[in-house]
Amino acid sequence: MKLRLSHIKIAGFKSFVDPAHITLPGQIVGIVGPNGCGKSNIIDALRWVLGESRASVLRGDSMQDVIFNGSSKRKPISRASVELIFDNSRGKAVGQWSGYSEISIKRVLLRDGDSSYHINNQHVRRKDVTDIFLGTGLGARAYAIIEQGMISRIIEARPEELRMFLEEAAGVSRYRDRRRETELRIADTQGNLLRVDDILQELTHQLAHLEVQAAIAMQYRELQSKRDTAQKLLWLLNKQESQIRQHRFSQALEKTKNELEAESARMHEMENQLESMRNEHYVQSDALHARQGDLYAVNAEIARLEQQLAYSSAQRTRLTQQLANNRQQIKLQQEQLHGIQSSLNQWQKKLEEACTQVADQENRVNAETCNLPQAEEAARDTQALHNSMQLEQMALQQQLQLAKTQCEHIQLNMQRLEARRERLLLEREHLPPVDQEALAEARRILVELECDREERQLQLAQLQAYLSGAHTERNEQRAAMQEQEREQAQAHARLSALEELQEQADNDNRLKQWLARHQLQQHPRLWQSIRIEPGWEDAIEAVLRERVNALALPRLEDAACWEEPPPSRFTVYEAEDMPLFETRKNVGLLPFGQFVRCQDTQTACVMANWLSDIYVTESIVQGLSLRWQLPAGAWFVTPEGHLIGTCSILFHAPDNHVHGILARQREMERLLEVVQQLEQRVTHSQRQTALAEESCRDIENRIALLRAMGSELQKRQHEVQVDILKLTQAGERSQDRTSQIDFELKELSEQSASEKQHFLEIRERMEMLHETIEVQQRETEQVKLQMLSRESELRLQREKLQELRNELQEARFLVKTCMEKIADLNHNLTQTGLTTAQLESMLIQTQAELDQINDEPDRQQLQESLENRQAQEQAMIEMRNQLEQTTRMLSQQEQARLSCEQKLPPLREKINEWSLKEQEARLQYEHWAEQLQGMDETTLLPMLAGANLKPDTLHNELIRLDTEIAGLGAVNLAALEELQSCQERKTYLDIQAKDLNEAMDTLQKAIRRIDKESRDLLISTYDDVNRHLAELFPVLFGGGEARLVLTGDEILDSGIQVMAHPPGKKNSSIHLLSGGEKALTALALVFAMFHLNPAPFCLLDEVDAPLDDTNTERLCKLITKMAENTQFIFISHNKITMELAQQLVGITMQERGVSHVVSVDIEEALRLRTDSTITA
């Protein structure tokens, strides 16, 4: 696979809040910028868009951390997106995307956690993205993305983790995914096989039981037939006895009713007399109540007068007490005035003394304050002089330390220059010559290969055009098929829902159990055999009600044999041919039966019978206007289900039990037809889709063949190009290197002489600095002593001034206290005067109120009211005596009526008793008649008369038969059918178990084949990587050796360790190497994998940071060589590495927290560097 990354688009990812577009036209691209500007965020973006799901790898706590979270000037945003655009013009991509010349991979994440992947603007899964780069070294956790710290993680990784890098280089990840899927299928197959075995064991056990149950079912049917005959005879005897008892109870009931009517007439006469006496009692009671009301009014007036006199007395006492209190308070207020005035004089004297003290203290403080600035100025001057001398001394020390550092640095530079001169001389002696004959032959072969390759490319372009059209046709067929399958699934779902509702319409569990006991559960229902015109479903449900769910029986006489009635309302009808019932003809009325269609003649007869008196009308209003045309007992029915008779209307409300059952049945029949049509259309679409896919596969196979041939040509061409490049570069390198070595040797001599001269100058400067520092230290000590003396004098003077200020503050506080106290006393003096004036005013007002009190008129009026109350009480006593006499007479009459009334309940109870007995006998007669309904009693009477049977005899016979039936236990009446069904199911499961075992064998063979292919591929890759590592390690180190070592015998499970020995070292472990050596070793390992399986591009994030200039140059040379097959994108601060780049991308952060992409002109940068070198 040869893809080249051409564009990177970032928006909202980490610090790239604004959309950034990075164009990558070259094979070696450098990303540069200051620390913290967001360069590494580009590496995180590429890792993220390739499927990384671990937030810690992206330097975050959660995946939402990759979305820009705001800065000091910008608000957070809610969306992050990264898009990679690959150039696939050579058609090297695999899979369904190989036909595109450009492949775009995009990932979008929203703040609410919604993450989506897109390939060429088509929504895909994360697995679809990772599948494109399987086995290429790219992906979320692959080795082609080398970020900060990853070098050390590669070298210090555990052997098992290092093996994962080798698997990625070998492309074993594809096999690993296939093996995992195969293992999951094996686990599912094993689970299915276990379930099938369990079901087979259960079926074998169930078959044994069903054979026994079938024999018991035959015996049960014989006993049940005998019991039905005995039951019918018992019902006939009970019916005859119930009829005799009913006649006897009816005669006794009529006699008791006559006695009750006579007693009732006598009681009515006594109630009329009692009513007259009650009216007289009411008149006397009203007169007594009126007299009592007058007495109450007099008592109320007396109470009012007594309350008024009590209030006047209490008011006089209160006012007298208030006068005394006011006089006492006035006296107290006058005494308080004298005390406040005395205190006010004392505090005014204290205020005068405090003001004098404040003036004295202020004069002393001012005098001391004037002397303080002079002392402070002297101390500051001394302090400033001391500080300036210390700064001068520190500057001299820094200059001395800098000179020492420069001397050490110059000595190190001189040593490095000498070592580099020796290496250059040795390198010049060992430069190889150039082979011109081999170079000419290689160029001839390359021209031939290029012609063959162009011919293959032309053929491939034509097939790809054909493939695009085939894909379009296949996608159209597939979309049409999916749409039809969706319609089919919707129709199936609708049909299943309706079937479930139909089953729920018969969800009475007790009725189901009853039907099962009587072997009626398989009999058809009425709604299954009739069809109603659309819009009249509610009407048929209103007319038939529970009869909609009626059960069809071969003979209605079978219902008489049921030992128990149904547990709920239930209807059965006879499914036998009978004469068709003629509907009564009525001109102008439309029979309801014309809206109903039946599937058989038996049901038609039943419906004609039930609907014979039903006619249709469009509305209630129309029905009411035509109701007088109805025959006797006939009804109108509306589409809503309302029934209209000649003198009544029955309004319909849906019954949940059967509501909608006919409409659902009609909809189910329609859906069955739709499903059948859709199945035919789906089958046709599947055939068309299969043909389109076969055409696509044929073209793809031809394209694959051409690409394989092209790949071989390209591989051969690449090998020849590599040979030419090696030969050409070897000659150029030899000449260039010789000239470069001569130039570098000359520069080294000049630099060495310059460094020696600079070293001597610095030594002379250091001696002068030593002498100056000693003189400066002596002068600084003298100034320090003078500074300490003046600071001590200043501290004593400040302490004295602070004491004076404290005394002044206390004197001012005393003045403030005196002034506040005087203000409080003046306020109290004013308030006391106001209170005294108010008390004197209240005293005058209270005396006036006391003089106005007079209660003599109220006392005279009270005496008159007492005399009037006595006269009223005497009159009321006389009226009460008269009322009591009338009440006694009324009570006597009431007692006589109660005596008569007590004779009625026994008679009513007796009537109820005879009525209940008669009703019981009648209900028993009707019950037994209903049980015998549909049976021919004439056939039973001879059997009853000839045997002279009694109910007890028949009852005992039933008990005996029930005992024998119960002795059989639970009988499975459907045992024969179940036995046959189980045998068929067992045969099917035996075949299924055989298929599952064969599938298990196939999957296990696939596992073994995958392991073999993975093992062979890993061994081959291990050998190739080891070989390349042995070649690259000396190139990067200038010698030494490195190799990979397996930690176990089985390469599929074994770990891998890296053994590296730089030149001149015999270290026992790679962990003993320095940081730079570890980095070079890791790079050698990664580049060795690249030689085997070049990734489309490689990302390097500051991998040259721990390297010196020499090793950096070696790394750059190696990257330049490998850039022929792999695109390199690196981040670096090293000038040598930057010079390697064919294109530079600048990242800046002029706005804090926001990264921007800027273009860098390499030619302009080189020109400026040349100008600066010439100027220097």
Binding residue ranges = 34-41
The answer to whether the beta carbons of residues 1069 and 1037 sit under 8 Å apart is: no
Structure-token pair, residue 1071: 């962990």
Buried b / exposed e across 1126-1141, counting CB within 10 Å, b at 16+?
bbbbbbbebebbbebb
AA identity, residue 215: A
Classified as helix, coil or strand, 1157 is strand
**Considering only CA atoms, which of 1135, 1036, 1045, 1130 is closest in space to residue 1078?**
1036
Q: How many CB atoms lie within 10 A of CB 170?
A: 24
The answer to whether the beta carbons of residues 1147 and 1157 sit under 8 Å apart is: yes
Residues 6 or more apart in contact with residue 950 via CB below 8 angstroms: 237
Q: Give the Cα separation of 985 and 311 in Å (integer).
A: 110
Signed CA dihedral, 143, 147, 150, 151: sign only:
positive
> Binding site for ATP: residue ranges?
34-41
Structure-token pair, residue 320: 């007298």
The answer to whether the beta carbons of residues 37 and 29 sit under 8 Å apart is: no
* Sequential DSSP letters for 652-694: ----TTTTTHHHHHHHHHHHHHHHHHHHHHHHHHHHHHHHHHH
Residues 6 or more apart in contact with residue 866 via CB below 8 angstroms: 302
Q: Give the Cα separation of 1013 and 1019 in Å (integer).
A: 10
Q: How far is CA 1157 from CA 84, 393, 445, 815, 1166, in A?
A: 16, 48, 45, 75, 21
> Residue 76: which H helix or E strand, with range?
none
Backbone angles phi, psi at 1060, to 5 degrees: -130, 135
The answer to whether the beta carbons of residues 445 and 720 sit under 8 Å apart is: yes
Signed CA dihedral, 55, 61, 62, 63: sign only:
negative
The answer to whether the beta carbons of residues 1018 and 174 sit under 8 Å apart is: no
Structure-token pair, residue 823: 């203000």
Q: Give the Cα separation of 1051 and 831 in Å (integer).
A: 110
Classified as helix, coil or strand, 80 is strand
Query: How far out from the chain centre does Cα 572 lie?
Result: 54
Rg, the chain, Cα only? 60
Residues 6 or more apart in contact with residue 456 via CB below 8 angstroms: 706, 709, 710, 713
Buried b / exposed e across 869-883, counting CB within 10 Å, b at 16+?
eeebeeeeeebeeee
Please tell me what DSSP assigns to residue 1088: H
AA identity, residue 295: L
The answer to whether the beta carbons of residues 5 and 84 sit under 8 Å apart is: yes
Residues, the chain: 1176
The answer to whether the beta carbons of residues 65 and 57 sit under 8 Å apart is: no
Q: Give the Cα separation of 939 and 232 in Å (integer).
A: 11
Q: Give the Cα separation of 31 and 1034 in Å (integer).
A: 28
Q: How far is CA 414 from CA 618, 679, 1112, in A?
A: 118, 90, 21
Beta bridge pairs of residue 5? 86
Structure-token pair, residue 305: 């007068």
The answer to whether the beta carbons of residues 868 and 294 sit under 8 Å apart is: no
